[in-house]
């Protein structure tokens, strides 16, 4: 499972990370570039500092209080696939990433908003050695932004926890009690999801495979179909739902261009017809003259020029009573285990 703490900071953030580590969670590794201010640099463990180039080469990069911070997707994928439990702490500049990962993995991700009232926040920041007035104001402004986001994006957050300081009922022990309850709840939810359907990792070998193009908002509908294909011995490659930068786009292009990509399965829906990523993948498949099978999830359609090309190929409907057998019949034999491509 993956927990994302949104808005934890300074001592409260440190103690939260320690709590989760003690409960078997692995921290998502972050790479921090801190511009030349030695006072600011001294606040961070030297081992946590990286060059600007190292940070910019990460899958995800954001700015926070003058620092450039990056992290990679490998641990995130491991956590939502059940191989480990991970914790990621984020702030106000990362809300778009949070939306993206929640849309991709739903119940496997628990988004936790951390509420700290402004007086307590100021008290915590003022305890930081050598903090300038400008830095204090910037941090307080970020704290206000965090609260505003939690109000405006309330539906995005699975839980809200409260920390009110050590002289309040919501002290660290109170915070830990909130965390314990959430971990127990998330564990039950993860088990329920796994019992319903489990999709194996994307195929990574050199044999023929199916490339799957879909909108990540449709994963609840698409993944059971992928599970069916995998159970029938099909090799399936699909984007796991969180976009990186330019490197990730190159990976997608390579997967489509490869001679081993013998099928391109397009899940057409209201979400995918509006997705620039899906449209780019379809155009790449057309340019590479791939065999495209369109699976209609609803009545939505792509733009007319794209639909004209899709009509040339096979179109299936998920509402069809014979859909389960028809989609297997649409698979090129060499994309199934124990079948070989004719050369």
- Give the three-class secondary structure for 33: strand
- Specify whether the CB–CB gap between 89 and 13 falls below 8 A: yes
Number of helices and strands in the chain (H, E):
13, 13
CA distance to 181, 182, 193, per residue, from 188 (Å): 11, 10, 9
For 118-151, write each residue's pLDDT tens digit.
899 999 999 888 888 998 998 899 899 999 999 9
Token pair for 206: 């050199």
Token pair for 6: 């949104």
Percent of the chain with pLDDT over 70: 91
Q: What pLDDT is attached to residue 340?
A: 46
- Specify whether the CB–CB gap between 273 and 300 falls below 8 A: yes
Range scoring the smallest mean pLDDT among 49-63, 242-256, 305-319: 242-256
Q: What pLDDT is attached to residue 300?
A: 95
Rounded CA-CA distance 145/143 in Å is 5
Range scoring the smallest mean pLDDT among 89-103, 222-236, 282-296: 89-103
Q: Which residues lie closer than 8 Å to 171 by C-beta, 6 or more apart?
A: 163, 164, 165
Helical (H) or strand (E) element with 115: strand 109-116
Rounded CA-CA distance 82/121 in Å is 35
pTM of the predicted model over 0.75: no
Q: What pLDDT is attached to residue 137?
A: 92
Kind of pairing, strands 31-33 and 67-71? antiparallel
E-assigned strands of the chain?
A: 2-6, 25-27, 31-33, 60-64, 67-71, 85-90, 109-116, 159-163, 209-213, 236-238, 261-268, 292-296, 314-317
For 180-208, write each residue's pLDDT tens digit.
999 999 999 888 877 665 678 889 889 99
Rounded CA-CA distance 319/317 in Å is 5
Domains and CATH numbers, the chain: 2-29+72-195 (3.40.50.300), 209-335 (3.40.50.10140)
Token pair for 147: 């609260």
- What is the average pLDDT score of the chain? 88
For 264-313, write each residue's pLDDT tens digit.
999 999 999 999 999 999 999 999 999 999 999 999 999 999 999 999 99
Rounded CA-CA distance 36/106 in Å is 40
Q: Is residue 244 scored above 60 in pLDDT?
A: no
- Per DSSP, 201 falls in state P
Q: Looking only at Cα atoms, what is the longest distance across the chain?
A: 74
Rounded CA-CA distance 342/247 in Å is 32
Q: List phi, psi (to 5°) of 311.
A: -65, -20
Name residue, tokens 């990976």: 251
- Per DSSP, 209 falls in state E
Q: List phi, psi (to 5°) of 250.
A: -65, -40
The arrangement of strands across the sheet holding 85-90 comes to: 25-27, 85-90, 2-6, 109-116, 159-163
């Amino acid at each position: 499972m993956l927990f994302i703490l949104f808005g934890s900071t300074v001592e409260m953030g440190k103690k939260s990370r320690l709590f989760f580590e003690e409960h078997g969670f692995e921290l998502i590794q972050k790479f921090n570039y801190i511009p030349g201010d030695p006072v600011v640099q001294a606040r961070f463990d030297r081992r946590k500092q990286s060059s600007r180039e190292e940070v910019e080469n990460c899958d995800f990069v954001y700015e926070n209080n003058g620092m450039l911070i990056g992290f990679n997707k490998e641990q995130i994928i491991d956590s939502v696939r059940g191989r480990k439990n991970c914790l990621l702490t984020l702030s106000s500049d990362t809300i778009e990433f949070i939306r993206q990962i929640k849309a991709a993995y739903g119940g496997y991700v628990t988004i936790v908003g951390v509420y700290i009232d402004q007086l307590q926040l100021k008290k915590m920041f003022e305890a930081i050695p050598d903090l300038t007035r400008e830095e204090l104001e910037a941090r307080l402004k970020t704290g206000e932004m965090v609260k505003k986001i939690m109000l405006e994006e309330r539906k995005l957050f699975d839980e809200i926890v409260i920390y009110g300081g050590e002289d309040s009922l919501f002290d660290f022990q109170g915070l830990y009690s909130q965390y314990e309850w959430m971990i127990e709840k998330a564990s039950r939810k993860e088990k329920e999801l796994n019992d319903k359907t489990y999709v194996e990792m994307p195929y990574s070998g050199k044999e023929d495979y199916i490339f799957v193009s879909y909108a990540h908002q449709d994963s609840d509908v698409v993944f059971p179909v992928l599970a069916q294909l995998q159970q029938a011995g099909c090799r399936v490659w699909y984007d796991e739902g969180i976009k990186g930068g330019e490197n990730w786009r190159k990976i997608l292009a390579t997967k489509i261009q490869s001679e081993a990509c013998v099928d391109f399965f397009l899940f057409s829906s209201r979400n995918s017809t509006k997705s620039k990523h899906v449209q780019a993948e379809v155009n790449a498949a057309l340019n590479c003259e791939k065999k495209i099978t369109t699976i209609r999830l609803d009545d939505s359609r792509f733009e007319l020029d794209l639909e004209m090309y899709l009509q040339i190929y096979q179109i299936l409907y998920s509402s069809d009573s014979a859909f389960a057998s028809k989609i297997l019949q649409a698979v090129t034999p060499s994309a199934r285990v124990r079948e070989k491509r004719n050369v």
